[in-house]
A = this chain, B = another copy of it.
Amino acid sequence: MYRTHTCGELRISNLNQEVTLSGWVQRVRNLGAMTFVDLRDRYGISQLFFDENISAELKKKLDTLGREYVIQAKGTVIERASKNSKIPTGEIEIKINDITILSESQTPPFTIEDKTDGGDELRMKYRYLDIRRNPVRQGLELRHRVGQEVRKYLDGQNFMEIETPVLIKSTPEGARDFIVPSRMNPNQFYALPQSPQTFKQLLMIGGCDRYFQIVKCFRDEDLRADRQPEFTQIDCEMSFVDQDDVTNMFEGMTKHLFKVVKNIELGDFPKMTYADAMKYYGSDKPDIRFGMRFVELKEIVGGKNFVVFDSAEYVGGICAEGCSEYTRKQLDELTKFVQRPQVGAKGLVYVKCNADGTFKSSVDKFYSQDDLKTWADAMSAKPGDLLLILAGNTAKTQNALNELRLHMGKELGLRNPNEFAPMWVVDFPLLEWDEDNNRFHAMHHPFTSPNPSDMHLFDTDPGKVRARAYDLVINGVEIGGGSIRIHNTELQKTMFKHLGFSDEEAREQFGFLMDAFQYGAPPHGGVAFGFDRLVSMFAGQDSIRDFIAFPKNNHGRDVMIDAPSMVADAQLQELFLALKKPDVNN
C-alpha cells in the first residue's frame, strides 16, 4: 500500500497515528539539525519533519531529494511547533522514520508554483507538469464538478444522455468539416461532427423526448485566439416544447449550477429582443452588469451645420457617470481607442457635463449650451457626467459604440468578475444576408423555425423574419444558444429554398432528415452550451485554454505530442490517398 492518507488529509485529530504518505517533493528546507520537506499531491501539502536523530541511511536518501521527486514517506503525526493557518494540514507535521524514492525527477523546465516562471509555449509542451500547478488543476476540477452537476440536473429532469456518432457525413453548410478517409469504403470519407444537430433531431423524431450529451465537436476553422479545433458542447433537445419551455428549463439548470458551484442564488433572467440588444448595446451579447445604454441622438443633433452628424446614418452616445473631469490626455486615449481598426470609428465627440451646470464639448463650434443641454437631458446625464458620441453607418457605429461602452465599463470597474448578470437574447433574425455569396444564410442554422407570426414576410422581406432562436448571455459572453426547430418537410423545404439550396442539394445533404419528417415528427427545440466557455466563465477567466486538459495552439497543433504529423506511406496506400505539394496548389 502506497499511502494511508493523502497529503491534504491529516489533522490534529490524527495525532500520534502511524501514517504513510506518497507525493511530490514541493520544497526541501534544510535547517542543519532539522530538515523539512513539503510533500504535495492533488489534495494538498503535508510537512514532513526529519530530526537530527534519523539514521544515516535515511539521511542519505533525504540528501538526494530534489524538487518533483516522487517519494513514499512513513512516520508519526505530531503537532507542529509553529503552525501554518493557511493550509488545512498546517497544525501537524509527520515525523519521518523512513522514505522510499519512487521516482526521481530532473529539474522541471518551469517552477511548479501557483505563479510560474514558464511561458505559454513551454507550459504547453510540458502540459503534464503545468497540470501539477494548483490553478490548472483547479480548472480541471471545476470542469469535472460542472459536468457532474449538469448531468445530475438533467438526469433529474428526465433527460437521457445519448451518444451520437463521431464518424458522420460531410455537409458543406456551416464551417469547414474535418474529414476522415474510409479504408473499407475507398475514396469515401467520414466527417467529424460540428455538432450533433441532425442526430438530436432524429432522436426527437425517435421519441426520446429529452436528450442531452456532453460531447466533443470539431471545426476546421482558421483559429482565432482562444478557439480550438475540438471543443465540447452541452447539447440538449426536448420534444413538445415552445420557446419558454426550453428557456425555463435551461435557466433552471444555470441557476442550479451557480448555486452548487459558486453558492450564488440568481434571480430570474431578463429577456431582451435582438433588436433591443442591438439598439441599446450594439451587440447581440450585451454585458448588463452595468448600464450605460446607447441613446440615439440623430433626431436632436441635426441641422447645425456639423456635417459629420448631418451626414451620418446613425448618431448615438453613452453617458459615463462621473467622468466629466477626464483630462485631455484621457479623452485623446478614448479617441485613439475608437479609431483602432478593430473598433473602426472615425472620431469621438465628447460633452463634459460640468459640475456647475455648464457644458464643454469637442463640438462647441457647432452647438450652443442649450443644444448640449438637450443632449444631456436625452441621455439622462447629471452634472459631473461625460457624454461620448459616435456617428456613421448604423451597424458599424453601433459596433464601435459597443466596444467603447465595454472599454469604459472596464475602466470604471463596472465589470466585476464576481458578479454575474445572465440574460436571454431572443427574436434573432432567421436569415442573414451574405454579401460574399449574394444569398441568405441561416443566422442560427437551417433547421431553426421561423416565428409563425412572421411567415408572411418570407415573400416580401425575408431578412425581417424573426427566428424562434435564443441565446443565453452572461456578462457579455454567449454561453449557449438554441432554437425551436422546424418539424415539417414543407417548411424545411421553404427554408432550404431561401438559403439557395436546390431540391437536389437539400435531398443529398439532408435527405435522411427530410425523410424522417415524413413519419411523425414532434415539435421540438433545444440548446447547446459551450462547455469550455461555461467553465471558464465560472472561474471568472477569459481564456478557455486552461480549462482544457490538453489544448492545441493557434495553429491547431498539440506541441506536447507533436500532432498532427506525417504518416507512413503504407497508411496512405491503404486509404488510396496521395499527397499533393502545398506550393503546387496554392
Which chain A residues have a beta carbon within 8 Å of chain B's beta carbons? Answer: 1-3, 6, 22, 24, 40-43, 68-70, 102-106, 108, 126-132, 137, 140-141, 143-144, 147-148, 151, 155, 160-170, 172, 176-192, 198-199, 202-203, 205-209, 216, 218, 220, 222-223, 229-230, 232, 240-242, 245, 487-488, 511-512, 516-523, 548-550, 552, 555-558, 560-568, 571, 573-582, 585
Provided the pairs A105-B520, A189-B567 are in contact, do residues A155 and B148 lie with their beta carbons within 8 angstroms? yes
**How far is it, in angstroms, between the C-alpha of A516 and the C-alpha of B181 when the chains are bound?**
32
Q: Which B residues are CB-close (under 8 A) to A40?
A: 207
**How far is it, in angstroms, between the C-alpha of A68 and the C-alpha of B179 when the chains are bound?**
36
A212: nearest chain-B partner, CB-CB: B144
Query: Judging by beta carbons under 8 Å apart, are B169 and A127 in contact?
Result: no
State the Cβ distance, A580 to closest chain B Cβ, in Å.
4
Query: Judging by beta carbons under 8 Å apart, are B102 and A206 in contact?
Result: no
Query: Judging by beta carbons under 8 Å apart, are A209 and B566 in contact?
Result: no
Query: Judging by beta carbons under 8 Å apart, are A128 and B202 in contact?
Result: yes
Provided the pairs A162-B144, A562-B169 are in contact, do residues A183 and B151 lie with their beta carbons within 8 angstroms? no
Known: A2-B241, A179-B571. 20 other contacts (CB 8 A): A1-B245, A42-B207, A70-B520, A126-B519, A129-B206, A132-B207, A147-B161, A148-B155, A167-B218, A169-B562, A170-B567, A172-B568, A176-B571, A185-B556, A188-B564, A188-B566, A189-B567, A191-B567, A199-B549, A203-B549
Query: Judging by beta carbons under 8 Å apart, are A577 and B578 in contact?
Result: yes
State the Cβ distance, A166 to closest chain B Cβ, in Å.
5
Query: Judging by beta carbons under 8 Å apart, are A550 and B165 in contact?
Result: yes
Q: Which B residues are CB-close (under 8 A) to A523?
A: 2, 102
A188: nearest chain-B partner, CB-CB: B564
Provided the pairs A179-B571, A180-B192, A578-B578 are in contact, do residues A70 and B521 lie with their beta carbons within 8 angstroms? yes
Query: Judging by beta carbons under 8 Å apart, are B522 and A102 in contact?
Result: yes
Query: Judging by beta carbons under 8 Å apart, are B127 and A186 in contact?
Result: no
**How far is it, in angstroms, between the C-alpha of A552 and the C-alpha of B166 when the chains are bound?**
11
State the Cβ distance, A159 to closest chain B Cβ, in Å.
9
**How far is it, in angstroms, between the C-alpha of A461 and the C-alpha of B519 when the chains are bound?**
64
State the Cβ distance, A182 to closest chain B Cβ, in Å.
4
Provided the pairs A106-B519, A209-B43 are in contact, do residues A582 and B3 lie with their beta carbons within 8 angstroms? no
Query: Judging by beta carbons under 8 Å apart, are A520 and B585 in contact?
Result: no
Q: Which B residues are CB-close (under 8 A) to A43?
A: 209
**How far is it, in angstroms, between the C-alpha of A220 and the C-alpha of B180 when the chains are bound?**
11
A165: nearest chain-B partner, CB-CB: B550
State the Cβ distance, A225 to closest chain B Cβ, in Å.
15
Query: Judging by beta carbons under 8 Å apart, are A180 and B183 in contact?
Result: no
State the Cβ distance, A241 to closest chain B Cβ, in Å.
7
A550: nearest chain-B partner, CB-CB: B165
Provided the pairs A3-B240, A141-B160, A521-B70 are in contact, do residues A576 and B565 lie with their beta carbons within 8 angstroms? no
- A sample of 13 inter-chain contacts (CB < 8 A) reads A1-B242, A42-B208, A42-B209, A128-B202, A148-B151, A162-B549, A163-B232, A164-B549, A166-B218, A169-B563, A179-B180, A188-B564, A576-B582
**How far is it, in angstroms, between the C-alpha of A233 and the C-alpha of B166 when the chains are bound?**
14
Provided the pairs A229-B167, A520-B69, A585-B573 are in contact, do residues A208 and B131 lie with their beta carbons within 8 angstroms? yes
Which listed residue, B199, B220, B555, touches A550 by the CB 8 Å rule? B199
Query: Judging by beta carbons under 8 Å apart, are A179 and B575 in contact?
Result: yes
Query: Judging by beta carbons under 8 Å apart, are B579 and A577 in contact?
Result: yes
Query: Judging by beta carbons under 8 Å apart, are A68 and B575 in contact?
Result: no
Query: Judging by beta carbons under 8 Å apart, are B567 and A105 in contact?
Result: no
Query: Judging by beta carbons under 8 Å apart, are A562 and B512 in contact?
Result: yes
Q: Which B residues are CB-close (under 8 A) to A6?
A: 209
**How far is it, in angstroms, between the C-alpha of A206 and the C-alpha of B134 when the chains are bound?**
11
**How far is it, in angstroms, between the C-alpha of A457 and the C-alpha of B167 when the chains are bound?**
44
Q: Which B residues are CB-close (under 8 A) to A184?
A: 220, 222-223, 555-556
Provided the pairs A2-B242, A521-B103 are in contact, do residues A137 and B579 lie with their beta carbons within 8 angstroms? no
Query: Judging by beta carbons under 8 Å apart, are B568 and A576 in contact?
Result: no
Q: Which B residues are CB-close (under 8 A) to A186?
A: 582
Which listed residue, B131, B189, B222, B240, touches A564 by the CB 8 Å rule? B189
Query: Judging by beta carbons under 8 Å apart, are B230 and A522 in contact?
Result: no
A179: nearest chain-B partner, CB-CB: B567
**How far is it, in angstroms, between the C-alpha of A3 and the C-alpha of B170 when the chains are bound?**
37
A167: nearest chain-B partner, CB-CB: B230
Provided the pairs A207-B131, A520-B103 are in contact, do residues A565 and B68 lie with their beta carbons within 8 angstroms? no
**How far is it, in angstroms, between the C-alpha of A207 and the C-alpha of B568 when the chains are bound?**
34
